[in-house]
Amino acid sequence: MGRTKQKKIDAVKFFPNVFVKENLSEAVQKYFSNNNPLSLEIGCGEGDYTLALAKNFSGKNFMGIDIKPSRIYIGARSALDENIHNTAFIAGRIERLYEIFGEASIQEIYIPFPDPHVRRRSAPRRLISHQFISIYKKILTKNGRIHFKTDNEILFEFGLENLKQAGAEIIKINYNVHNSDNLTLPESITTRYEKHYIKEGRTIKYLCCGF
Domains and CATH numbers, the chain: 3-210 (3.40.50.150)
Stretches where the chain sits below pLDDT 50 are none
pLDDT of residue 120: 81
pTM of the entire predicted model: 0.94
CB distance 65 to 40 below 8 Å: yes
Rounded Cα gap, residues 110 and 140, in angstroms: 12
How crowded is residue 150: how many other Cβ atoms within 10 Å of its Cβ?
A: 25
Catalytic residue chosen out of the listed positions 10, 48, 66, 115: 115
pLDDT of residue 21: 67
H/E element, 204: none
pLDDT of residue 8: 87
Note if 66 is an active site residue. no
pLDDT of residue 119: 86
What are the backbone angles phi and psi of residue 145, rounded to the nearest 5°?
-130, 145
The terminus-to-terminus CA distance of the chain in angstroms comes to 42
Whole-angstrom CA distances from 199 to 37, 88, 147 are 35, 30, 23
Mark 158-186 as b/e (b = at least 16 C-beta within 10 Å): bbbebbeeeebeeeeebeebeeeeeeeeb
CB distance 74 to 46 below 8 Å: yes
pLDDT of residue 14: 85
